Amino acid sequence: MPNPQQFPHGGASLAYRFGAGAGPLVVFLPGYMSDMTGSKAVAVSDHARRQQRARLRLDYAGCGASGGDFLDGSIGRWTGDVLALINHVWPQGKVVLVGSSMGGWIALLAGLKLDDRLAGVVGIAAAPDFTTWGLKIGEIDRHHLATDGFFTRPSGYAAQPYRYSRALIADAPAHLLLDGLIGISAPVRLLHGQRDDAVPWRLALDIAARLHSKDVQVRLIKDGDHRLSRDADIAVLLRTIEELV
């Protein structure tokens, strides 16, 4: 496969793959410390290509094939990356955002900014506000933030521990969503595995309750884990996207 395309934004070169086609544009947003080469990202893009639909997958600044330092990344910056790339490749027209884990948080934030251009959101184990409920930051962590600029946590989804930076922790409070109404009016579908050991499946119900949209569905997969990347899980994901496009 040829190298991804590059787009300069915010002092970094953002890597992305865009395919032209009919609207709405289908955009896949990866999770934390993930990138556009993951199985769900590729499956969504390939499905859209077969349907002759416009599609976009990308790496946030500091991630995957994009330039920049990962430790400079934050929810606000990565949301800005997404919006800049959407406006670059698809300056007009409707957009469906598909976000996995942290990508679900960014999908909701980007969807708010897109306003009436948003055709729908699909969250896969969406994890808005994970810096609040998912990270219990202790004194040792604060020491590392002050001295090293980050602290680490073991991860079952990568060989190396996840790093959580000073920039991420400082920026996150400005982008919290679960303390009020989420003003998205477009259709939203939330997929969540009930064996998810990273993001509690009941969070999907909380998100649904806070969305302004009246077209919201939560779909629980009883034996599904956090990744939801089995063939059967991906089949559910693709059918769900088809409903919105």
Known catalytic residues are: 101, 196, 226
Residue pointed to by tokens 């899980």: 233
Encoded amino acid at 56, one letter: L
- Does an H or E element contain 39, and which? helix 39-50
Asked if the peptide bond before residue 24 counts as cis, ω within 30 degrees of 0, the response is yes
Distance between CA 233 and CA 236 in Å, rounded? 5
Residue pointed to by tokens 């990347």: 229
Structure-token pair, residue 190: 């939330």
Distance between CA 165 and CA 73 in Å, rounded? 8
Question: Most distant CA pair in the chain: distance in Å?
Answer: 52
Asked whether the beta carbons of 164 and 135 are under 8 A apart, the reply is: yes
Centroid of chain to Cα 30:
5
Distance between CA 213 and CA 88 in Å, rounded? 27
Q: How far is CA 43 from CA 55, 74, 126, in A?
A: 11, 26, 18
